[in-house]
């Protein structure tokens, strides 16, 4: 399997506006059918089927609807959306405009990560150029004229604002805290109007699917995870960067392509993902096995996995919004326990309590942050027992 490295991605081979031009001549329902037929699942991590999301928003009856591009990209080890926005912004905007037509929205918002402020002027220029070409604003080139425009709103560097309901709170000018779900954004989103929130990469692939057809997309991948996916690869590898692979690639094959053979572990899905040991490198990156938003952090043989777990948990202690107790207190307790392990003062009984706490957080936390923050700790304890047990006190 040949990897595509940044600069050679499929996105660069799609003719400008090809997907959008086709969509503008299609009926709304046909656009959604094409996306549904591709069986694409959202590229932001949770993997919700994009066609289903668009269909729900299209069916909602409302005077106003919104298309939101989630460009918050705060997951440690993830940087593919930054590359897409820098190199292929037009494709993302094509995808947002296609979504606007499909669901009946006239406004799109790019929620841009605070740390990506340097990308803002580039994106503003692309938006302006599209208005001048009649690809935004009053769009008359299709069979039925539509109105759709896009603006950019900055985030302020809170990881939790990548969670779609916290993102919407932040867009509305409130503190970025996750909402209770249901209701879901497709029904009650930005300013209480039906809203689709999709990842940057999802919009770019949507434009490709309209350009090349759903059958082209389903040619690769697995039954439940169709198409191509971008991966942000970092850590102990020869060539870090953004890669494109078909979904379903094994960790082994990926490591061969990026120069990471000899690794002892790979963290898939960022700090909130899972730490996979070398014995499991035959596993595949797909929703039916290891689901991922695309972050791959490779750990070489000399890495101390306890330090890795501490590092991730320190991040979650900092980033928990504090709204619910399991996450607000749980992450602090887990980090505290890991520091005890490092100091050789954590007993086996206490370690078992920490494991039980982590499992409770997975089910009792309000949003994905607290539900997934113990994942790295739990998988490291499970898969690197020998490394950790030597540090347990009697
Ligand atoms: C704590 C947290 C952070 C998230 N950060 C992002 C993010 O930076 N970008 C993103 O696309 N999705 C992020 N998500 C997932 C979003 O809530 C949502 O599922 C996604 O934007 C939907 O888009 P998709 O269906 O195209 O993947 C995050 C979720 C959680 C729980
Ligand atoms: S799980 Fe954490 S981030 Fe999510 S609502 Fe609770 S405290 Fe906030």
Q: Which atom of ligand 1 is nearest to the CA of 272?
A: 1
- Model confidence at 17, in pLDDT bands (50, 70, 90)? very high
- Per-residue pLDDT, 1: 58
Average pLDDT over residues 123-132: 98
pLDDT digits (tens, 9 = 90+) for 146-197: 999 999 999 999 999 999 999 999 999 999 999 999 999 999 999 999 999 9
Domain boundaries, the chain: 4-218, 228-299, 305-393
Which of 163, 362, 366 is the best mutation target for the ligand 1 pocket, counting ligand atoms within 8 Å of the beta carbon and taking the most? Answer: 163
pLDDT digits (tens, 9 = 90+) for 45-76: 889 999 999 999 999 999 999 999 999 999 99
- Model confidence at 21, in pLDDT bands (50, 70, 90)? very high
Nearest ligand atom owner, CA of 176: 2
Both tokens assigned to 84: 């897409």
State the architecture of 305-393 in CATH terms.
Up-down Bundle (1.20)
- Give ligand 2 pocket residues (Cβ under 6 A): 160, 178, 320-324, 327-328, 365-367, 369-370
**Does position 394 have pLDDT exceeding 70, yes or no?**
no
- Tell how far the Cα of 326 is from the centroid of ligand 2, in angstroms: 8
- Tell how far the Cα of 291 is from the centroid of ligand 1, in angstroms: 13
Which of 324, 334, 362 is the best mutation target for the ligand 2 pocket, counting ligand atoms within 8 Å of the beta carbon and taking the most? Answer: 324
Mean pLDDT of the chain: 95
228-299, CATH topology level: Ubiquitin-like (UB roll) (3.10.20)
Q: Which atom of ligand 1 is nearest to the CA of 46?
A: 19
pLDDT digits (tens, 9 = 90+) for 264-314: 999 999 999 999 999 999 999 999 999 889 999 999 999 999 999 999 999
**Does position 142 have pLDDT exceeding 90, yes or no?**
no
How far does CA 180 lie from the centroid of its chain?
Answer: 20
4-218, CATH topology level: Rossmann fold (3.40.50)
């Amino acid at each position: 399997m040949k990897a595509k490295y940044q600069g050679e991605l499929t996105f660069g081979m799609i003719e400008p506006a090809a997907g959008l031009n086709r969509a503008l001549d299609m009926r709304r329902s046909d656009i959604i059918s094409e996306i549904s037929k591709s069986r694409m699942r959202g590229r932001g991590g949770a993997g919700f089927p994009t066609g289903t999301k668009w269909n729900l928003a299209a069916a909602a009856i409302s005077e106003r609807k919104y298309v939101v591009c989630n460009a918050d990209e705060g997951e440690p080890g993830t940087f593919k959306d930054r590359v897409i926005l820098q190199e292929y912004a037009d494709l993302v905007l094509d995808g947002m405009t296609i979504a606007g037509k499909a669901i009946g929205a006239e406004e799109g918002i790019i929620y841009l990560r605070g740390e990506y402020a340097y990308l803002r002027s580039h994106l503003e220029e692309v938006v302006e150029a599209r208005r001048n070409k009649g690809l935004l604003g009053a769009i008359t080139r299709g069979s039925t004229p539509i109105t759709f425009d896009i603006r950019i709103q900055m985030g302020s560097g809170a990881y939790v604002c990548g969670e779609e309901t916290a993102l919407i709170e932040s867009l509305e000018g409130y503190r970025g805290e996750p909402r209770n779900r249901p209701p879901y954004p497709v029904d009650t989103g930005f300013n209480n109007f039906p809203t689709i929130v999709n990842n940057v990469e999802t919009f770019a692939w949507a434009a490709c699917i309209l350009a090349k057809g759903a059958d082209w997309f389903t040619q690769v991948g697995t039954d439940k995870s169709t198409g191509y996916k971008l991966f942000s690869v970092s850590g102990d590898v020869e060539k870090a960067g953004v890669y494109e692979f078909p979904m379903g690639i094994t960790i082994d094959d990926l490591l061969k392509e990026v120069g990471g053979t000899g690794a002892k572990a790979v963290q898939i899905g960022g700090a909130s993902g899972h730490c996979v040991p070398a014995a499991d490198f035959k596993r595949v990156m797909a929703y039916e096995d290891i689901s991922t938003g695309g972050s791959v952090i490779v750990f070489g043989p000399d890495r101390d996995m306890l330090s890795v777990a501490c590092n991730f948990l320190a991040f979650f202690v900092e980033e928990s919004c504090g709204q619910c107790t399991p996450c607000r207190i749980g992450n602090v307790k887990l980090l505290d326990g890991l520091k005890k392990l490092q100091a050789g003062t954590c007993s086996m009984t206490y370690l078992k309590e920490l494991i039980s706490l982590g499992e409770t957080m997975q089910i009792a936390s309000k949003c994905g942050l607290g539900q997934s923050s113990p994942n790295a700790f739990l998988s490291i304890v499970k898969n690197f027992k020998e490394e950790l047990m030597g540090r347990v006190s009697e």
